């Protein structure tokens, strides 16, 4: 390893990096860590979720370029590097039965081929730590699930010169830790919900918690709590930069930042793979790495 700490965050769509682990990334950037977001798709099939922009013919006709510009702005706000893996958004299939995924989309990509693209990025950037999604994708979007699949293959494949030859994919590199983003977890949601109600404030989480129970969502093991409350403003600015995807007057931003810092000033992760010694729970994605860097 070299003295430079490097963090790679693998995400499915532009805006995912700003809603999942953005404050963590901003914190590490402030400490001199080199941070790269790899965005697997262009978000071409994403809906326009901001009601103020719905029905805008220009945006609808140019959604790929619009979302690329939004990503550029968010990248600058977070102070990170960012690159595209080059796949097309699968969209979120809806209906019963679910319709087939569109031909050529990321969700139908060959896993080993797509992982090879990520291997090339890993070997070039040489991160010690990678973050991605769990096997359920965080939620069952086909692009999130595929992001998990290729991340797992690429974590191992980055050192496999036989499967991914060095003359094509670059010199082998061994990342030593891999995490699943788990920022949307029940303990955090309950804590904020109860804190709002106890102060006589409206909570946007009541329906979330009801649906949590209805869908029987499995509880995940939270292993790592990164203190990053000082960077919540940067997180929110980066998310608002994805104007087609977020309503700045919506529920995301109804909880005062001071209350968030008081009640839950961390972002959470699940340690999935570790090739260094660490003890749980952690407060640092680079626990066990810094001493060897």
- What residue numbers does the annotated binding site cover? 13, 16, 144
In this structure, what are the phi and psi dihedrals at residue 235, rounded to the nearest 5 degrees? -55, -50
User: How many whole angstroms separate alpha carbon 268 and alpha carbon 209?
Assistant: 18
Rounded to the nearest 5°, which phi and psi values hold at 207? -70, -35
Nearest to 108 by CA among 134, 155, 143: 143
Q: Which two tokens stand for residue 6?
A: 């490097």
Long-range contacts made by residues 193-201, C-beta under 8 angstroms, separation at least 24?
195/259, 195/262, 195/263, 196/255, 196/259, 199/259
Contact (CB, 8 A) for 46 and 245: yes
User: Which residues are annotated as part of the binding site for Zn(2+)?
Assistant: 13, 16, 144
Task: Give me the helices (H) in the chain, please.
Answer: 16-19, 22-30, 57-61, 63-78, 111-125, 142-157, 166-169, 186-198, 206-215, 232-241, 257-263
* Interaxial angle between packed helices 232-241 and 63-78, expressed in degrees from 0 to 180 and rounded to the nearest 10: 160
The label of the residue with tokens 């090339």 reads 120
Q: What is the CA radius of gyration of the chain?
A: 19
Contact predicate 33/207, CB 8 Å? no
């Amino acid at each position: 390893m070299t003295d430079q700490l490097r963090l790679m965050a693998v995400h499915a769509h532009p805006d995912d990096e700003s809603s999942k682990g953005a404050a963590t990334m901003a914190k590490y950037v402030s400490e001199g860590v080199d941070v790269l977001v790899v965005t697997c798709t262009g978000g071409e099939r994403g809906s326009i979720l901001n009601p103020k922009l719905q029905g805008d013919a220009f945006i609808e006709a140019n959604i790929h370029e619009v979302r690329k510009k939004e990503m550029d702005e968010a990248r600058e706000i977070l102070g990170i590097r960012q690159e595209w893996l080059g796949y097309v958004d699968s969209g979120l299939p809806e209906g019963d039965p679910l319709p087939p995924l569109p031909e050529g989309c990321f969700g139908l990509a060959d896993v080993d081929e797509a992982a090879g693209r990520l291997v090339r990025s890993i070997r070039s950037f040489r991160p010690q730590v990678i973050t991605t999604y769990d096997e359920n994708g965080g939620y069952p979007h086909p692009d999130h699930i595929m992001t998990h699949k290729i991340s797992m293959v690429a974590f191992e494949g980055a050192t496999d010169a036989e499967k991914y030859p060095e003359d094509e994919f670059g010199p082998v590199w061994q990342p030593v830790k891999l995490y699943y983003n788990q920022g949307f977890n029940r303990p955090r949601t309950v804590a904020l919900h109860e804190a709002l109600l106890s102060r006589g404030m409206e909570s946007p989480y009541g329906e979330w918690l009801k649906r949590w129970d209805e869908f029987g969502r499995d509880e995940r093991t939270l292993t790592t709590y990164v203190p990053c409350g000082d960077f919540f403003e940067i997180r929110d600015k980066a998310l608002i930069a994805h104007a087609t995807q977020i309503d700045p007057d919506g529920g995301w931003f109804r909880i005062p930042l001071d209350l968030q810092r008081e009640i839950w000033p961390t972002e959470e992760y699940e340690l999935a793979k570790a090739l260094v010694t660490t003890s749980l729970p952690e407060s640092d994605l680079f626990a066990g790495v810094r001493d060897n860097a």
